[in-house]
């Protein structure tokens, strides 16, 4: 997702383009129980689809984590583009021959264009591709992880976590909306601000939200209580990139994540949970932001720090 060309609104503020291919993959291709149907419906079918998700991208990282947590690795295959790309799209330059071994393509754009010739919008990850046809199915990232939980349930591992507990969904939706607008997107609002006033307004909004989260996590282990939910997945991918990228590159520098005790302990707790930290590639994360965003970092120099070993230190969250 982060390869989209940022758009700017009046007075230099950043506004994300949230228009995606709205198709969804559902049980039997039937109308889903939750959410809108604004595009085509595709049937759940093990082995048919490939999740294309760059480890560098926070939005794609969500889908990788959810796939791991639910045990869908043998049901939906994973393609991982490299961290840097040109104006055409994400590329499979980490794979032998610079081509995805299943789709046989070098640029993700090829799957987009096969479904929509000369696709006019940003070529974003995560994306789900129909392997038999080589065509894009959807890139609608919030619904991808939602449907991995609700629509692929017949294929979850026996001990898969309940990422959308029914009794918490209403509150969870409110929490996730604030996390998205103020934190997930808030760091980009700071980084791509076009003038001082827009940047300072974005900065204040971001740290107001981080202070709210710091307080919320003082007496609960995870965002919604004692168990991991989708809300934690959505927050984690931003926190994992905060000190390595957003603090300096995006000027989100009131303080580091490591200087907020509850959030830092919470982030390390998740990082050390199977399915979270093992999806993080700090070298790819830093290469993506510091190389691709040449308008912000024209030298292309990638910082050496911070010290990644700190993510493995005791988090102490068991006592919460």
Active site members: 57, 188
**Owner of token pair 């479904």:** 115
Could you give the C-alpha distances from 38 to 19, 112, 148, 167, 207, in angstroms and in order? 12, 18, 18, 27, 35
Task: Return d(Cα 177, Cα 1) in angstroms, integer.
Answer: 18
**Owner of token pair 């560098």:** 56
Q: Which of 241, 292, 305, 296 is nearest to 60 (CA)?
A: 241
Go through 68-95 and write b for each residue having 16 or more CB atoms within 10 A of its CB, e for each that does not: bbbbbeebbbbbbbbbbbeeebbbbeeb
SS3 for 138? strand
Task: Note the Cα 46 to chain centre separation in Å.
Answer: 23
Q: Which of 126, 131, 119 is nearest to 141 (CA)?
A: 126
Cis peptide before 126 (omega within 30 of 0): yes
**Pairing label, strands 49-52, 77-79:** parallel
Residue pair 67/78 in contact by the 8 Å Cβ criterion: yes
Determine the length of the chain. 320
Q: Which of 89, 48, 81, 47 is nearest to 64 (CA)?
A: 81
Could you give the C-alpha distances from 288 to 4, 144, 245, 309, in angstroms and in order? 13, 23, 10, 21
Burial class (CB within 10 angstroms; exposed 0-12, middle 13-18, buried 19+) of 11: exposed
Q: Is 90 annotated as a binding residue?
A: yes
Residue pair 151/138 in contact by the 8 Å Cβ criterion: no
Residues in binding site? 90
Residues in binding site for glutathione? 90
């Amino acid at each position: 997702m982060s390869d989209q060309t940022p758009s700017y609104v009046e007075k230099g503020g950043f506004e994300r383009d949230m228009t995606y291919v709205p198709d969804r993959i559902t049980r039997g291709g039937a109308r889903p129980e939750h959410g809108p149907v604004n595009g085509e419906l595709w049937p759940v079918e093990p082995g048919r689809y490939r999740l294309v998700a760059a480890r560098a991208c926070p939005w794609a990282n969500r889908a990788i984590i959810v796939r791991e947590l639910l045990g869908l690795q043998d049901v939906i295959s994973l393609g991982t583009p490299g961290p840097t790309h040109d104006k055409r799209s994400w590329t499979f330059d980490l794979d032998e021959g610079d081509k995805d071994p299943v789709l046989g393509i070098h640029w993700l754009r090829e799957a987009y264009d096969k479904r929509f010739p000369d696709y006019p919008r940003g070529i974003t990850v995560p994306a789900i591709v129909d392997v038999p046809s080589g065509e894009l199915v959807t890139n609608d990232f919030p619904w991808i992880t939602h449907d991995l939980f609700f629509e692929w349930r017949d294929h979850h591992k026996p001990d898969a976590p309940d990422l959308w507990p029914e009794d918490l969904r209403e509150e969870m939706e409110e929490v996730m909306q604030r996390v998205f607008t103020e934190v997930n997107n808030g760091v980009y609002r700071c980084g791509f601000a076009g003038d001082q006033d827009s940047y300072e307004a974005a900065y204040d909004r971001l740290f107001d939200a981080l202070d709210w989260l710091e307080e919320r996590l003082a007496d609960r282990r995870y965002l919604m209580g004692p168990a991991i939910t989708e809300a934690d997945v959505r927050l984690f991918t931003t926190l994992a990139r905060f000190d390595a990228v957003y603090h300096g590159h995006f000027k989100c520098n009131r303080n580091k994540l490591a200087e907020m005790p509850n959030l830092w302990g919470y982030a390390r707790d998740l990082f050390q949970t199977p399915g979270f930290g093992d999806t993080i590639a700090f070298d790819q994360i830093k290469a993506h932001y510091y190389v691709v965003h040449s308008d912000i970092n024209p030298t292309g120099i990638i910082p050496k720090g911070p010290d990644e070993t700190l993510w493995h230190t005791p988090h102490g969250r068991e006592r919460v």
